[in-house]
């Protein structure tokens, strides 16, 4: 296992769209181990996406236990993740390992259902809310080349948001 180095803004490699994973082999497993270790070593330590370590593949790892204890799904390896449903909106302040020294208000869905493959390629589905849902949405943005900076809103807009539901 190894801690990988994190790309930081404005590195253009953070803006690439990541490719789906099609081969679930030992190389992938080694990479997931390294990515997990890199996540735990980071200042937030609750989420990471493969593009942040210069591997443009659709791989996200989230483990919000450092923040929420056992009241969550624990370690989730999300490969080729898709949001199947989302509900509610909430404003929260986010920072990112790839954007040091800066935080901003971002609107995210309050509850999500995410479908993904695990490290062996099996289909999985998770329902998450609150902080865990926010972490997943933040990391999934990296797969499409988005940073939270792309989603900043002013406080006035935060205030006048309207609730929207979509299934």
Question: Residue 6 contacts by C-beta under 8 Å, 6 or more apart in sequence?
Answer: 38, 42, 52, 53, 97, 98
CA geometry: angle at 125 spanning 4 and 136, to 5°?
40
Q: How far from 77 is each of 36, 49, 52, 55, CA to CA, in Å?
A: 9, 10, 15, 15
Question: CB of 146: closest distance to another protein in angstroms?
Answer: 13
| Contact track, another protein, 54-93, x by CB under 8 A | -------------x------------------------xx
DSSP H/E element including 73: none
- Our answer to whether residue 139 is catalytic in this structure is yes
Interface with another protein by CB under 8 A: which range of 19-27, 80-88, 119-127, 156-164? 156-164
CB of 156 to another protein, least distance (A): 6
Out of 95, 111, 118, 152, the residue judged to bind another protein by CB under 8 A: 95
Q: What residues form DSSP beta bridges with 126?
A: 114
- In a 13 Å sphere around the CA of 92, the CA atoms on its Cβ side amount to 16
| 96 is a contact residue toward another protein (CB under 8 A) | yes
41-60 positions binding another protein, by CB under 8 A: 42-44, 46-47
- Interface positions, 121-140, toward another protein (CB under 8 A): 131, 134-135, 138-139
Radius of gyration of the chain from its Cα atoms, rounded to whole angstroms: 15
- Return the H-helix or E-strand segment holding 142: helix 130-143
Which is nearest to 89 in space by CA: 130, 126, 127? Answer: 130
Range in contact with another protein (rule: CB under 8 A) among 10-18, 37-45, 79-87, 117-125 = 37-45
Give me the active site residues, please: 139
Chain contacts with another protein (rule: CB under 8 A): 42-44, 46-47, 67, 92-97, 103, 131, 134-135, 138-139, 155-156, 158-160
């Amino acid at each position: 296992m190894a801690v990988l180095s994190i790309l930081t803004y404005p590195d253009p490699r953070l803006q690439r769209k990541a490719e789906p994973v099609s081969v679930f082999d030992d190389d992938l497993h080694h990479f997931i181990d390294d990515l997990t270790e890199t996540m735990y070593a980071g200042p937030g330590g609750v989420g990471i996406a493969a593009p942040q370590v210069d591997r443009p593949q659709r791989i996200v790892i989230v483990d919000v236990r450092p923040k929420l204890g056992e009241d969550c799904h624990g370690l989730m390896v999300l490969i080729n993740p898709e949001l199947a449903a989302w509900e509610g909106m909430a404003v929260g302040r986010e920072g990112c390992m790839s954007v040091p020294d800066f935080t901003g208000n971002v609107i995210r869905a309050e509850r999500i259902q995410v479908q993904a493959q695990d490290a062996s390629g099996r289909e999985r589905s998770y329902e998450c809310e609150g902080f865990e849902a926010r972490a997943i949405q933040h990391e999934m943005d990296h797969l499409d080349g988005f940073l939270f900076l792309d989603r900043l809103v002013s406080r006035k807009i935060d205030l006048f948001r309207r609730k929207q539901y979509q299934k």
